[in-house]
Structure 1
Amino acid sequence: MVQKDGAFYTGQYRNLFKEYGYSDAEIAAKVKNTWEELFILEGPNRIYFEVGDDLGYMLDTGNHDVRTEGMSYGMMMAVQMDDKDIFDRLWRWTMKYMYMTEGKHAGYFAWSCSPEGKKNAYGPAPDGEEYFALALFFAAHRWGDGEDEVFNYSKHAKDLLHTCIHNGEDGEGYPMWNPDNKLIKFVPEFEYSDPSYHLPHFYELFALWANEEDRPFWKEAAAASREYLKIACHPETGLAPEYAFYDGTPNDERGFGHFFSDSYRVAANIGLDYEWFRGDEWETELANKIQGFFADKEPSDYRRYKIDGTPFEEKSLHPVGLVATNAMASLATVDGPYARQNVELFWNTPVRSGDRRYYDNCLYLFAVLALSGNFKIW
């Protein structure tokens, strides 16, 4: 049951860095330096790039493409950092190159494009759509809707959420959420899920701000997602598979039934849900289990795991991202046995360099914002 002592109700956001002994000056520098290293400075770790006078994109440096995941993440980061110029550049690029107006996916965004804007695929990925929607609502509330149609942020958010749950009702197309169980799908055509897509704290806000007729759906989706994570995460390790069926069992049909890159985000999501809404006391138990599983492991030896904890030889592709998300889970277990250890490990871990830096550093910046009390509801 949601308790009314989360940040949504109190307006107070915990600054775990400060609670664990870091100074205001150190924390402010951590936020500023991370943002600038990834978005502003022309250094080797940059993941945001500008095009012309009014466009910008987030580059997946490991796959050399632009993804809705990254674009929506970048917009969320920009609104949290109060950088309207970067937000608008990302949104213009998204609407210009990723938005689909025809066919069964009309109203969604193509999940992958080349940096030049050519669509690599004509299917959407729901984790992008849900982040786009909330980033747009936050932009509307923080800066106001613009007169130019493309910057009527709140209208785009409402229209997108309407499409996500009603697409296909009158013919061609598929919704992104299953209309019966209210669970988000991995992609619209497939009837299974990705536990890391489940953002009940987003859906609580959609239930306030979406089209009025859609609000009950989002309230139900928030409750459904919290319950789904209980059956998708392993009862002893807390680890979630990348893909899972609606009954929570791992979907390993294509090798994605293990704890690997997508799965890392579950820890971050339950941390933020607990911070914003105190979504479920179970989230504290889950955070303790995940952090406990990694307590005796070094980031250099993080691996792919079965959700029962059995390791594979294959190393983690994104160890810095895993450090970041495990630290963000501390928001759900501030006084837990491993909370401080995870935050201190994260504090002492630099942003990632090299070709694989994009995903790690997106998760890194989200963790910096959340653990400093700067991942806020606007």
Structure 2
Amino acid sequence: MWQRCKTLIVAVFALIFSQQALADNAWDSYKSRFLMPDGRIIDTGNKSVSHTEGQGFAMMMAVVNDDQVSFDKMWNWTRKTLKNPENGLFYWRYNPVEAQPITDKNNATDGDTFIAWALLKAGTKWQNQDYLNQSDAITKALIAHNVVRFAGYQVMLPGAKGFNLNSYVNLNPSYFIFPAWQDFANRSHLMVWKDLISDGQKLLGKMHFGNPQLPSDWVSLYSDGRTVPAKQWPARFSYDAIRVPLYVSWFNRSSPELQVYKNWWGRFARDKTPAWVNVTTGDPAPYMMNGGLLAVRDLMLQSASVEQPQIMAQDDYYSASLKMLVSLSVR
């Protein structure tokens, strides 16, 4: 009997320590899979291109994991390769196999925001004034080139070009990164960040579309204040909008806005939850959530179990990134 108990105790401790090792090694696993020696993060689900989103995500992960060497490597590559000297923001996409790796000179404000946010966190953590100065320069450029007042709301456009169509603007609600905006407000004391937070929350409340009552990945805001799923993209709550509840929760774990996501995902068993849904027709994806998508669902419905990310072999860049971001949001 004692031998069996002893074996059981050893097994329990082995499981505990192995789970802790997986948690401790999540960043190492992420780096080994997606960080190139030159500091470039590759999107393995998208032909190994790179984009500012991935650079910003991973820079934030490096700060939280106290990895300044990796942070500097990623920041140096991003600054040297993607920075647009004309406006102080960053070209959003880099394709290494093309003769001209940067064909689209536009920025993506979620990537710019995460880069600036990571620099702010890094400057504070490692007492580096240059990081702080760089963060301030990016946030100033974001305000100058991407923040507009439209239909009575302060909004951040997804990019500097192509999203203000006069009678309406196209918005991506997954670019409403409330916890970053709050940190920028705390540092700068500028009202623009507080207005973005307040108006962003109001706009999300107007993006409960169709039977699912969820936002679509892309939303048009008209000059009369109406919001509708943007006609240029499928009307889906999908791989972009999955980040909306993540950022809302990161900013305020008790936000009433989270209830619509709990209601939707609560309709399904965990392994039978559709990966996306068309908010106009109600048609669900023909395949189920997995990986990082489930991590966000778990954050809403099983928050006690999401603190230890496990990067699996089948996780591509985006799935692994969502798992890591969910973990960061509850630290």
Answer whether TM exceeds 0.5 for this pair: yes
- Asked whether 1:263 is paired with 2:241, we answer yes
Change (3 A) 1:310 1:343: farther
3-state SS, counterpart of residue 154 of structure 2:
coil
TM-score by length of 2: 0.82
CA gap of 1:98–1:218, structure 2 versus 1, over 3 A, is same
The one-letter code matched in structure 1 to 2:37 is: E
- CA deviation string 1:340-378 (max 9, x = no partner): 3x765x689953535x7011110011123334x2xxxxx
- 1:136 correspondence with 2:119: yes
Residue of structure 1 equivalent to 2:252: 274
Which structure 1 residue ranges, 5 or more long, are not aligned?
A: 1-22, 41-45, 147-151, 167-174, 330-338, 374-378
Are the counterparts in 2 of residues 264 and 321 from structure 1 also a CA contact under 8 Å? no
Contact 1:302 1:319 in 2 (8 A): no
Shift of 1:27: 6.0
Decide which of 136, 149, 169 is 1:179's aligned counterpart.
149
Aligned residue in 1 for 2:299:
328
Displacement of 1:238 in angstroms is: 4.6
8 Å CA contact retained: 1:290, 1:326: no
| Shift in alpha-carbon separation, 1:139–1:357, aligned structure 2, 3 A | same
Alpha-carbon distance in structure 2 between the residues aligned to 1:199 and 1:165: 14
Match of 1:156, SS state, is: helix
Distance 1:309 1:303, change over 3 A: farther
CA 128–313 in structure 1, closer or farther in 2 if over 3 Å, else same? closer
Does 2:26 correspond to 1:31? no
1:222 aligns with 2:197: yes
- CA positional deviation for 1:235: 7.8
Q: How far apart are residue 256 of structure 1 and its match? A: 3.3
Give the direction of change, closer, same or farther, for the CA distance of 1:30–1:162 in structure 2 (3 Å limit): same
State how 1:127-166 maps to structure 2 within 5 Å. Answer: 127-145=110-128, 152-166=130-144
| Residue equivalent to 1:358 | 317
Between the aligned partners of 1:77 and 1:349, the Cα distance in structure 2 is 12
Look up the match of 1:335.
none
Is 1:114 aligned to residue 99 of structure 2? no
CA-CA distance at 1:163 after TM superposition: 1.1
What is the one-letter code of the residue matched to 1:351?
I
SS of the aligned residue for 2:276 comes to strand
Query: Max radius of gyration: which structure?
Result: 2
> What SS class does the counterpart of residue 237 from structure 1 fall into?
coil
One of 45, 52, 62 as aligned partner of 2:45: 62
Shift in CA distance, 204/24, structure 1 to aligned 2, threshold 3 Å: farther
The alignment of Structure 1 onto Structure 2 pairs a total of residues equal to: 303
Equivalent residue, structure 2, for 1:78: 62
Higher normalized contact order (CA 8 Å, seq sep 6+, divided by chain length): 1
> 1:242 aligned to 196, 217, 233, which one?
217
Letter in 1 for 2:106: G
CA gap 1:50/1:259 in 2 versus in 1, 3 angstroms? same
Which residue number corresponds to residue 305 of structure 1? 277
Measure, in 2, the Cα distance between the counterparts of 1:348 and 1:223.
Answer: 31
Amino acid corresponding to residue 249 of structure 1 in structure 2: T
